Amino acid sequence: MLGNFFGGLMIFLDRPFEIGDWIRSPDKEIEGTVENIGWRLTTIRTFDKRPLFVPNGIFSNISVENAQRMQNRRIKTQISIRYDDVFKLKNILSGIKEMLKNHPEIDQDKESYVNLINLGPSALEIQIYTFTKITKWVPYQEIQEDVLLKILDEIKKHGAELSYPTSTIHIAKDAK
């Protein structure tokens, strides 16, 4: 009981989160929106709308991520291009870099990377890594969708195609 009181005091003094913040703990199964901060308990509304009552003493022993205090959201994805399109790859990479550089919702103060990262068993693997200007979830999802669709347009523009996992089967001739 005393630990919960001091945990509540810690929350009020340190302010790791406030009412309305979306928080998550990688240490415990705690994720949702903070609804109430009391001296003994903090109430969090989970994403499936259940109330989660967390004794404040727990917060002194776990790490807490506060999504409301993020400065950007990251878009990180990998795409695979067919080996048949290897000679188109430089133009595709340049086109994607240029698209990110000119996208109004990509933060130009943060690094963006578009690189060939692996010569996979059946594809040329490209990683795209960039940051949006906004942090709100729904607009972020829309920006990410727009970026991904523009990447697909860039691939199509150069007459290339995405790669799909393939297997080659060698059938031995029957030795007679």
pLDDT digits (tens, 9 = 90+) for 24-51: 998 888 999 999 999 889 999 999 999 9
Give yes or no: residues 103 and 48 share one domain.
Answer: no
Q: Which segment of 29-33, 57-61, 69-73, 142-146 scores lowest on mean pLDDT? A: 57-61
Same domain for 139 and 77? yes
The pLDDT assigned to 8 comes to 72
Q: How confident is the model at residue 114 (pLDDT cuts 50, 70, 90)?
A: very high
Residue 60 predicted with pLDDT over 90: no
DSSP-derived secondary structure letter, 131: E
Looking at per-residue pLDDT, the higher value among 136 and 105 belongs to: 105
Residues 65, 111 share a domain: no
CA 49 to chain centre: 23
Judge contact between 53 and 43, C-beta under 8 A: yes
Q: What pLDDT does residue 46 have?
A: 96
Backbone angles phi, psi at 17, to 5 degrees: -160, 160
> Mean pLDDT of all residues in the chain?
92
Number of structural domains found in the chain: 2
What digits encode the pLDDT tens for the residues 65-80? 998 888 999 999 999 9
Q: Is 171 part of any domain?
A: no
Domain contains 140 = yes
- Does 1 score more than 70 pLDDT? no
What CATH number is associated with residue 127?
A: 3.30.70.100
What pLDDT, on the 0 to 100 scale, is given for residue 13?
Answer: 80
Which pLDDT score is estimated for 2? 67
pTM of the complete model: 0.77
Q: What is the domain extent for residue 49?
A: 2-69
Please give the single-letter amino acid code of residue 119: L
Alpha helices, DSSP H only, in 39-88? Answer: none
Backbone dihedral angles phi then psi of residue 43, each to the nearest 5 degrees: -100, 125
Q: Report pLDDT for 164.
A: 85
Task: Name the nearest CA neighbour of 34 among 63, 43, 53.
Answer: 43
